[in-house]
Amino acid sequence: MIGPTAVFAFPNLWDVAYKNHIDVYRAIDKVQLVGNELIAATKGSTVELVQLMRALTSINVTSMSDVLILTGNGRGTGAMKVARSMYEVSVTAEYLEKNPNEADPLFGLCSCHCLAAVAPHRKGFSQ
């Protein structure tokens, strides 16, 4: 007797979603390309703020793929959670760009997982 089959994805949804939202998917591809170019262009930088921004960019580029995977498999609520995290990472990056001297207090106050992920990149920041 064959047991139940596990279903982790909805391939029937993939083509329909892509056809219905092709412009969105193409725009996301372009944004990811730019993000990856920024990550590559700043790879050797020793400037701490650049390293931090590079890490935040990397988090959002990866998260963009996560959103696509979730929405492409009918998991819009999960995708919204990831997208919210992306928004928070973007706001953090914008704030740090305008206030680079505020990195230390921000790390001390923030407990969100996205900043914990970049903690290894903060080697020059005071503790």
Q: What is the pLDDT of residues 98-108, one digit of tens each?
A: 988 877 666 55
Query: Does residue 75 form part of some domain?
Result: yes
Q: How many folded domains does the chain comprise?
A: 1
Burial of 56 (0-12, 13-18, 19+ CB in 10 A): buried
Query: Does residue 78 form part of some domain?
Result: yes
Choose among 6, 8, 19, 62: nearest CA to 39: 62
Q: What angle do CA 101, 40, 42 make, to 5 degrees?
A: 25
| 16-61 residue pLDDT tens | 888 999 999 999 999 999 999 999 999 999 887 888 889 899 999 9
pTM: 0.73
Query: Does residue 14 form part of some domain?
Result: no
Q: Pull the structure tokens for residue 9.
A: 């994805």
* Ramachandran angles phi, psi of 43, nearest 5°: -55, -45
Q: Which domain holds residue 59?
A: 30-120
